[in-house]
Amino acid sequence: MAIIITDECINCGACEPECPNTAIYEGADDWKYADGTDLSGNVVLPNGKEVNADEDQEPISDEIYYIAPDKCTECMGFHEEPQCAAVCPVDCCVPDEDIVETEEELLGKQAFMHNE
């Protein structure tokens, strides 16, 4: 499942540089599928959604740091545990119970974004 940042976030920014998928953004900042990935142009995501990886996407939060769930792999393929949760001083990076993905799905998403 993807990780979410709860409203207990203190906007310290410790999580953002730790994300190997560049899936974490500061509140109110636009984001792109291409940021920190090998994606570009029109792509079909593993979940079937068609997107242009180079187009700006609307911020998920205007108030606090947020994680783009389509880019979150819980750091699978990179680290043993989600790095955002490991460095968060207030423990506000938690699993999103609304987006449940298997280890196989998360690793597939990681491979898709990082042509390895």
Residue 3 pairs in a beta bridge with: 95
For the chain, domains (ranges, CATH) are 1-115 (3.30.70.20)
Kindly report the pTM of this predicted structure: 0.95
Amino acid at 64: I
User: For the segment 24-61, what is each residue's pLDDT rounded down to a tens digit?
Assistant: 999 999 999 999 999 999 999 999 999 999 999 999 99
User: For the segment 71-107, what is each residue's pLDDT rounded down to a tens digit?
Assistant: 999 999 999 999 999 999 999 999 999 999 999 999 9
Question: How far from 46 is each of 14, 71, 98, 105, CA to CA, in Å?
Answer: 29, 11, 17, 8
